[in-house]
Structure 1
Amino acid sequence: MIDAEFWDYEDAEELAEAVAGDAAFLIEQALEARGRAFVALPGHDAPLAVLQELSAKSLEWADVTILPTDDRLVPPTDAASNVGLLARMFLPKKARVVPLSAGEKDPRAAGLAADERIADLDWPLDLALLSVDAAGNVASIFPGPDFDAALNGPKVRRALGVMPDPLPKAAPFPRVTLSKPALVTARVVTLVLSSDAARKTVQKALKDGASSPTPIGRLLADLEMDIDIHYCP
C-alpha cells in the first residue's frame, strides 16, 4: 500500500499557495533535468485559485507542455472547456497547451483522435495534478460503459472518449479523458480535495485498494509512488 500524506489547510488561499508551489518546484526540476516539462492539469474541476497561483509563477513556461487531464466535447471558446480555461491562463505565459479534442462531437472518434494527437508528446508526465469529487471520480473516469476501458485498456492508450452515465448535471457533455495508465505513470501524482465528502471517499478508497469501486480507488491501487493529498473544505 502506498504512503498517502494528507495536508490540511485553513483556507483555499493557503492550499493554492502550497499546491502551486509544489507544482512549480516539480516543473523547475524537470526543466533542470531535461530542459522541458510535461504536466497534466485539471480544468473547471480544480480549485481555480491553484491554477491562478501556478500561472503567476516565474518559470520558463516556453519549455512547458500542458495537457488537460480531461475535457468536455465543446469548442475551446465555450465556458465549459477545460483547455480553453488552461489556454487563457498559460498561453500568455508562452506555455504550450495541447487540446484533447479538436471539434469532434462523437466521444469515440474524439478519443481515437486524442490518443493519436498526444502519442508523440514527451511521456511520461512529470506531474499529474488531479481533483477528486465526492463520488471518487477523477479526470473524466466515471462509472459507466467506458469505465473498464479507461481503467484497464492497453498501456499505450493514453486517451479515450467517454460517455458518463448518467451525464453530470453540472456539465452534461460527453468527454475525452486521459486513461489510468497515462496518469499513474506520471513521475508525481498529486490530489486536491475540496470537500469533506471527497476526503472520506479517498480515505476509504485507500483502505479498499484494488477492490474499490471508485475511479480514484482503482487509480491509487496502481500507483507505485507515495502521494500528497491536499485538502481544504
Structure 2
Amino acid sequence: MIDRKSFGSTEELHDKVAADVTKILRNALLESGQSLIALSGGSSPFPIYEKLSRTGLGWEKVSIIPADDRIVEEDSELSNIAALRRVFGDTGATISPLFETAGNEAQAAVEARGIADKLKFPLDLIWLGMGSDGHFASVFPGPDYDTAFKPPAQAKAVRVRPDPLPPEAPVSRITLSVPCISNARHIIMVISGHEKRAVLDRAITDGESSGLPVARFFAQLDRNITIYEGP
C-alpha cells in the first residue's frame, strides 16, 4: 500500500519525517537493541538528517549505510558516505560504506556484494528519494537495470551504470538491490516540488506502462511505503 502524506511547508515536512523516523528507530532499539538503516544522498534530506542527529536515541546502537553511492573516492564531493559521516560522525553511530575500493569498479562491486557478511539484514528502515526521471536509490534505466531488480545470488548491493549518465554525477554507482530495499521493515520516500509530485502521480496512475523505475518498484512491492511530499 502507498500511503501519501502531503505538507504545506518545508518545516512541517521536516518535523514530521524526523519524528516518524525517530519513532521507528526507538522501536527497533527496544525490540532488538540495535538497528540497521539505509539513507539516501542528495541535498534535500540533509536538513532532516541534521535534525535527527541531534535526537538522543542511542545512536551508538545504530548502523547506517548509504542506500546508494557513486564509485568515487571518499574525499569527492560526489560521495554519499562522506556526506553521511559529516552529519552523523559525532553521534556514535556506525557508518559503513557499500564499498572500500573506489579506483576499481569491479573490486567495488565485489565488496558491495559482501556487505551482507558484515551487517545484519533486513534493514529496519530505508529512506528513498526520487529523481524527476523516476529513479530511486541508483536504480536507473541502463545496462544494469534488470540486475538491480533481480540481482545475482540475492546480492544486497550491485554495481549499476545509468544510461545516459547524469551530467551532475557522470560515474557508475553501487546501489542496494530492489529485493534488499523491498525487504526493509519500513520504507519511506521523501520528495518535494510540483515536478516530482507529477512524476509520482504518473507512476501510480500508469503503473509499469509509464516506463518509470519507481513505477516498476511500486508494482512489485508487497509491503507498505510511506511517501512524504513537501511543497
TM range (shorter): over 0.9
1:212 is displaced (CA, Å) by: 4.5
Shift of 1:112: 1.9
- 1:41 is aligned, of 39, 64, 69, to 39
Give the one of 135, 154, 157 matched to 1:156. Answer: 154
- TM-score, reference length from structure 2: 0.93
- Of 76, 88, 102, which aligns to 1:78? 76
Aligned-residue identity in percent: 35
- CA–CA distance in 2 between the matches of 1:134 and 1:51? 22
Letter in 1 for 2:215: G
Q: 1:168-204, CA deviations, whole angstroms, 9 ceiling, x for partnerless residues?
A: 1112221111110110000010011122222122222
Alpha carbons of structure 1 residues 9 and 170: separation in structure 2 relative to 1, 3 Å: same
Q: How far 1:99 sits from its partner (Å)?
A: 0.2
Taking the TM superposition and a 5 Å limit, the aligned residue runs for 1:1-233 are: 2=1, 4-44=2-42, 46-154=44-152, 156-233=154-231
Distance 1:35 1:81, change over 3 A: same
8 Å Cα contact 2:188/2:227 also seen in 1: yes
Q: Please tell me the root mean square deviation across aligned C-alpha atoms, in Å.
A: 1.6
The answer to whether the Cα contact below 8 Å between 1:45 and 1:131 also exists between their aligned partners in 2 is no
Q: Number of aligned pairs?
A: 231
2:109–2:174 contact (8 Å) kept in structure 1: yes
The separation in 2 between residues aligned to 1:109 and 1:46, in whole angstroms, is: 30
Is the CA contact 2:138–2:174 (under 8 Å) kept in the aligned structure 1? yes
Contact 1:12 1:49 in 2 (8 A): no
Q: Deviations over 1:70-129 (max 9, x none)?
A: 001122222211000111111200000110121333434312211113434111000011
Separation of aligned partners in 1, 2:196 and 2:105: 27
Query: 1:68·1:83 contact (CA, 8 Å) conserved in 2?
Result: yes
TM-score relative to the length of structure 1: 0.93
Tell me the CA shift for residue 164 of structure 1.
Answer: 1.2
Q: Deviations over 1:2-35 (max 9, x none)?
A: 2x22212222222111111111110000000000
Shift of 1:211: 4.3
Residue identity opposite 1:128 in structure 2: I
Q: Are 2:182 and 2:223, in contact at CA under 8 Å, matched by a contact in 1?
A: no
Structure 2: runs of 5 or more not aligned: none
